[in-house]
Homo-oligomer: A and B are copies of this chain.
Amino acid sequence: MILADYFMKEALKEAEKAFEEGEVPVGAVIVSGNTIIAKAHNQVEILTDPTAHAEMLAITSATNYLGAKYLEDCTLYVTLEPCPMCASALNLAKIGKIVYAAEDEKNGFMRYGTKMLHPKTKIDFGLMNTESISLMQNFFRDKR
């Protein structure tokens, strides 16, 4: 298994935790030098906090771990295209690279384009998007 696959699988495991907890199933991991330094999943409902997206919790966790407010040498793997709040937070954190699985045409940051990110941040997407989309569809099917 290539490393990127492994990291996205870990993000998907986080998304599954969110699913089991009745949260919109989004998971994220942050990697520094091939080591996972933060894992998080969406906790909006349990924390009754609209800002508690997986990416936000992962950024706070990773910066705490590193004792630094920038994540230039880190990669975020996340199961869904970040929303504008999370993309702007990733900009402030100067994240090195973002890899997201599924696109989010309705709520994703790409409505505003990549100018929302730091100019040095690299982007990749589509990795394991089938698994991520399937998890989201199961979640919203159960909700109806």
Contact = CB atoms under 8 A, between A and B. Distances in A.
Contacts of A64: 48-49
Interface in A10-67: 44-45, 48-52, 56, 59-60, 63-64, 67
* Number of copies of this kind of chain in the complex: 2
Given A50-B69, A70-B50, A89-B51, A116 B84 contact: yes
Interface string A69-113: 110000000000001110011011100000000000000000010
Across the A-B interface, the 3 shortest Cβ-Cβ residue pairs: A85-B88, A50-B92, A84-B88
B69 A59 contact: no
Interface of A: 44-45, 48-52, 56, 59-60, 63-64, 67-70, 83-85, 88-89, 91-93, 112, 116
5 contacts: A45-B69, A50-B70, A50-B93, A51-B89, A84-B91
Contacts of A59: 49-51
Contacts of A69: 44-45, 48-50
A83 B91 CA distance: 11
B48 A68 contact: yes
Contact of A50 (B50, B52, B63): B63
